[in-house]
């Protein structure tokens, strides 16, 4: 095995997946940024959730909004539903793991808020339940998926935004999800601050 060649192939595959995705995803990413800005300007907030690497992405997104991305501005209302170990473990223990985000969305989500729901497969039951809770509480949903969107694709409404990476490889999907999160953060900042470049 030539490890250097294998690493180089990962770089090539990652770059190609991103290039293949840009035409398909640019419009829904822009739509998602506009949806999120509308929520923030309406005194709403963005709730973010995911499992594993997607949990890290949810936390990354919330951190960029509350802190800053690349432009100086006030903190923006965002909550990663993946960070409170007492909530996660008590809900998982008492209601089962699929309810860990559902309970939080029902408790914290209000009409006009947005749920950022991240699942590489589109089939994560905790994310499916979170989307159902969001719809019950009149939140819009921005779903980041891959692998054709899975079960989540069939749950989304016309008022939601689906950003589905055209890949079946988990690592490549996660890489595009991270780029998408950075595009969302930049788009939110540009819209809020009136940046034209």
> CA 131 from chain center: how many Å?
12
Q: Is the separation of the CB atoms in 36 and 78 below 8 Å?
A: no
Tokens of 161: 């935004």
Per-residue confidence of the chain (197 residues) as pLDDT tens digits?
A: 699 999 999 999 999 999 999 999 999 999 999 999 999 999 999 999 999 999 999 999 999 999 999 999 999 999 999 999 999 999 999 999 999 999 999 999 999 999 999 999 999 999 999 999 999 999 999 999 999 999 999 999 999 999 999 999 999 999 999 999 999 999 999 999 988 66
Entry pTM: 0.97
Q: Is the separation of the CB atoms in 175 and 160 below 8 Å?
A: no
CB atoms under 10 Å from CB of 175, counted, come to 21
Is 164 strand, coil or helix?
strand
* Sign (positive or negative) of CA dihedral 52, 103, 149, 21: negative
Task: Domain 3-193: give its CATH architecture.
Answer: 3-Layer(aba) Sandwich (3.40)
Q: How far apart (Å, rounded) are the C-alpha atoms in residues 197 and 195? A: 6
User: Please, what is the angle between helix 170-193 and helix 53-66, to 10°?
Assistant: 10
């Amino acid at each position: 095995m030539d490890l250097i060649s294998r690493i180089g192939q990962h770089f090539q595959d990652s770059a190609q997946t991103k290039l293949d995705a840009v035409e398909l995803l640019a419009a829904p990413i822009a739509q998602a940024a506009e949806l999120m800005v509308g929520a923030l300007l309406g005194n709403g907030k963005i709730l973010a959730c995911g499992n594993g690497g997607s949990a890290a992405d949810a936390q990354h997104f919330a951190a960029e909004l509350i802190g800053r991305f690349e432009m100086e501005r006030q903190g923006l209302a965002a909550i990663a539903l993946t960070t409170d170990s007492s909530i996660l473990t008590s809900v998982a223990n008492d209601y089962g793991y699929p309810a860990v985000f559902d309970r939080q969305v029902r408790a914290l989500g209000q009409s006009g808020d947005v749920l950022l729901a991240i699942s590489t497969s589109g089939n994560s039951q905790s994310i499916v339940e979170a989307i159902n809770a969001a719809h019950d509480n009149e939140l819009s949903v921005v779903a980041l998926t891959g692998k054709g969107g899975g079960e989540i694709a069939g749950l989304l409404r016309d008022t939601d935004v689906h950003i589905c990476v055209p890949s079946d490889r988990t690592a490549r999907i996660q890489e595009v999800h991270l780029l998408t999160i950075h595009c969302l953060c930049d788009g939110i900042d540009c819209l809020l601050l009136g940046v034209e470049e």
